[in-house]
Amino acid sequence: MASGGGFVTWVRTEPPPPDEHPFTLPVVREVFARGGIGLDPGVTFLVGDNGSGKSTLLEALAVVFGMNLEGGSRNFRFSTRPERSALADHLVACWKRRPRTDFFLRAESFYNAATYVEELPGGGLGPYGGRSLHERSHGESFLDVALHRFGPDGLYLLDEPEAALSVRGCLALLRRVADLRARRCQFVVATHSPILLALPGALILQIDEDGALTPTGYDEAEPVRLTRGFLAEPDRLLRELLAD
């Protein structure tokens, strides 16, 4: 199985961290206690409940890798509100080699990134399927970025891409990620999707309630366990959830 791009497999911390958000998040404290965070040379998944800090980590990694905080590549220069990643100021990427291209695909601010692409001088739609991302559904435009903008030797960060995708869309993205990993690409993905987590050979880092960042097998990953449990006995679980 191909090992991916391997551009950055360790991001080290620069202590001491301030005693304020986001440094008070348990997972951030865990990263500083370890002296950094290790990444798979191919695909790393960050898994955790809402508020666990996985998106906070991913945003900081995007900035440390040189990408635009609101989404896009290192060449994107836009901001719709004053925003910065304080965590990124205390992280250092230990580069093994540099990628040919990169992109931060962020569901939360994808509309802003799509607008920026549309307004590029001379038109910049070629690498995105040839027409405005606003003229397609959210899921279609997300997939078009992965299919047309992502290419070999790339470093890609995805923040909860399943928020825009159907089940078929998740399967299509899974196949695209597997294909690009074989073409020397590296991914870091924050996700709740049992479908995406099924990618063979990926590293799954699960963020527990106490902030522990634990390598986890597919069957033990929380989104997989909870989804399987619900699908196996939906009537029983619904009775429990909806009971007075």
Q: Please report the pLDDT score of residue 145 as a whole number.
A: 85
Query: What pLDDT is attached to residue 160?
Result: 93
pLDDT level of residue 50 (50, 70, 90 thresholds): very high
* CATH 3.40.1360 correct for 8-218: no
pTM, entire model: 0.88
Please provide the average confidence, as pLDDT, over all residues in the chain. Answer: 86
Sequence ranges of the domains in the chain: 8-218
Q: How far apart are CA 144 and CA 106, in angstroms?
A: 14
What are 76-123's pLDDT values in tens digits?
554 555 566 899 999 999 999 999 999 998 765 454 555 555 555 555
Contact indicator for 41, 194 with CB cutoff of 8 Å: no
